Amino acid sequence: MLNKSHCAAFAASALLACGTPDYSVAPVQPNGGTARAYGLWTPSVRETCTKAQHDKYSTVGPDGKLYPTWHPPTEPETGCTFGHEHGRDPRGSDLYRTVGPIPLGYANDRLEIWDAANPRNEDHFGHKFEWENDVEMNAGSSLANRFFDIRCDILVKFHQGTHSKDAFTNNLHELVYHIRCNDGTELHTTFMAAVGTPGEFEASCDRRRIRVGPATPANSPNGGGVRIIPDVECVKRHMMVTGTRESNFNSALHESWETSNSIRTEDGHTLAHFNPYFQVDAPSRYFDPNAPNITGRPVDMCYATGPNGERATGGLCQVSTNNGATAGVTWDDPRSKFNGVARFVDINSNIIDNAKGPAVWYTDPFGQNAATKPFPGSIKQFIAPIAGVLNPEGPGLGGRRNYGGIGVRAPN
């Protein structure tokens, strides 16, 4: 059970510093400061926990500041509700002993030091954890798979907010990626992942490119990968149906944030490349240029009737509103199952090209310009000193888990 005590956080960091010989979390002396991400959450009338109960889930980051960290959707001691969840409890991960509590928003804070004029602040809700131990990986070819049994421990934290308009334009999202495999592949990285092109996304149902507007910050770099998000056309086409058909909520609403991440040196050499895809089945929003805040709410479509009598029926509308019969279920009502809880991560490939080492690098907040010494705003990264040949590819994680709990609702 994590608590707010600085002494406890310091002791935990010291204990975890004993981890593996090659990677360990060095003990950090708290400096009394708090990160920008700390204390962002305030309970609404629907939540029964206090702010103090929530904020005690904290940890000291590598910079000595206090950061929020993972917490359950309800407080175990009292059962009070926080109204949101952060995915799988990371303390069950075999990597947790090595990496310790993960500070949420650390890369965002480092960006503010590295480029104070162009900060990127993310909300508290969107931080999501997923992990799995001893994952059987694909060794990359039928020949390699015949001979090799590659197993990895994987722990990831990604900021993926699916309740607001943020991701329609903003492509910078904090990613914490830990992986350790029995073939020597090992990465411990934290950075602001640039997912796709700033200012635009692709519609989930047909991959139309939708240009929305300027991103925040304005100088957001273009990333590999893409953000695939539903828009009103997808909702009308697949959710609003006639006759006896049932809505296809997956085709209408499924989001896929397909990242392509490279850790590169100052001279452009790629030390590591990995590309997890983060999927959400039932977000609480879609892009609608005509809606308030350009944000449409799927649950509202459960009550709507199209010009030709189209209705949204079955599935999530059945569960959330009894196909519209239960009035008054709003997008932020716990009864609405359009809440971003159903998620999974496709791990995909992991490539390391760092044979000459060292294992420890310092990069800018985007994972670029890796150097062997720290600099203002830099983030410490660990990349195993190998040149990977097997390049393990991972499966999807979390598809069978439901992280919803009592009181969990959008925004989540």
183 binds other proteins (CB under 8 A): yes
Q: What is the dihedral of CA 265, 271, 275, 278, to 10 degrees?
A: -70
Cα→Cα distances 122→126, 236, 318, Å:
8, 30, 33
Dig out the tokens for 204 from the structure. Answer: 């989930």
Find the angle CA(77)-CA(404)-CA(237) to the nearest 5 degrees: 165
Query: Exposure of 328 by Cβ count < 10 A (0-12 exposed, 13-18 middle, 19+ buried)?
Result: exposed
400 binds other proteins (CB under 8 A): no
> Of 94-102, 181-189, 305-313, 321-329, which part binds other proteins (CB under 8 A)?
181-189
Contacts of other proteins in 107-146 (CB under 8 A): 141-144, 146
Nearest approach, Cβ of 351 to other proteins (angstroms)?
12
**Cα–Cα dist 159/107, whole Å:** 11
**Cα–Cα dist 215/218, whole Å:** 5
Nearest approach, Cβ of 144 to other proteins (angstroms)?
6
Nearest approach, Cβ of 152 to other proteins (angstroms)?
11
Nearest approach, Cβ of 145 to other proteins (angstroms)?
9
- Binding other proteins by CB under 8 A: which of 14, 26, 387, 406? 387
21 binds other proteins (CB under 8 A): no
The residue count for binding other proteins (CB under 8 A) is 19
Nearest approach, Cβ of 392 to other proteins (angstroms)?
10
Cβ proximity to other proteins, 72 vs 184, nearer residue: 184
Q: Which of 325, 369, 339 is nearest to 161 (CA)?
A: 339
- Report the residue count for the chain: 412
- Binding other proteins by CB under 8 A: which of 50, 368, 386, 401? 386
Nearest approach, Cβ of 297 to other proteins (angstroms)?
48
**Cα–Cα dist 106/31, whole Å:** 15
> Of 8-16, 266-274, 313-321, 383-391, which part binds other proteins (CB under 8 A)?
383-391
**Using an 8 Å Cβ cutoff, are 157 and 129 in contact?**
yes
90: left (phi over 0), alpha (psi -120 to 50) or beta: alpha
Nearest approach, Cβ of 137 to other proteins (angstroms)?
10
184 binds other proteins (CB under 8 A): yes
Cβ proximity to other proteins, 213 vs 357, nearer residue: 357
Contacts of other proteins in 143-162 (CB under 8 A): 143-144, 146-151
Which amino acid type is present at position 223?
G
Cβ proximity to other proteins, 211 vs 356, nearer residue: 356
Spell out the residues 6+ positions from residue 406 whose beta carbon is closer than 8 angstroms to its own.
Answer: 73, 74, 79, 81
Cβ proximity to other proteins, 390 vs 397, nearer residue: 390
Nearest approach, Cβ of 184 to other proteins (angstroms)?
5
Spell out the residues 6+ positions from residue 89 whose beta carbon is closer than 8 angstroms to its own.
Answer: 70, 72, 129
**Using an 8 Å Cβ cutoff, are 187 and 384 in contact?**
yes
> Of 91-99, 157-165, 194-202, 382-390, which part binds other proteins (CB under 8 A)?
382-390
> Of 45-53, 126-134, 176-184, 190-198, which part binds other proteins (CB under 8 A)?
176-184
- Binding other proteins by CB under 8 A: which of 213, 389, 399, 402? 389
Spell out the residues 6+ positions from residue 350 whose beta carbon is closer than 8 angstroms to its own.
Answer: 152, 179, 181, 185, 187, 272, 273, 274, 388, 391, 392, 393, 394
Which amino acid type is present at position 406?
I
Strand partners, 361: 381
Dig out the tokens for 252 from the structure. Answer: 């209408």
Cβ proximity to other proteins, 149 vs 266, nearer residue: 149
Nearest approach, Cβ of 354 to other proteins (angstroms)?
11
Nearest approach, Cβ of 132 to other proteins (angstroms)?
18
357 binds other proteins (CB under 8 A): no
User: Look-up: residue for tokens 């393990």?
Assistant: 392
**Residues forming the site for other proteins (CB under 8 A):** 141-144, 146-151, 182-184, 355, 386-390
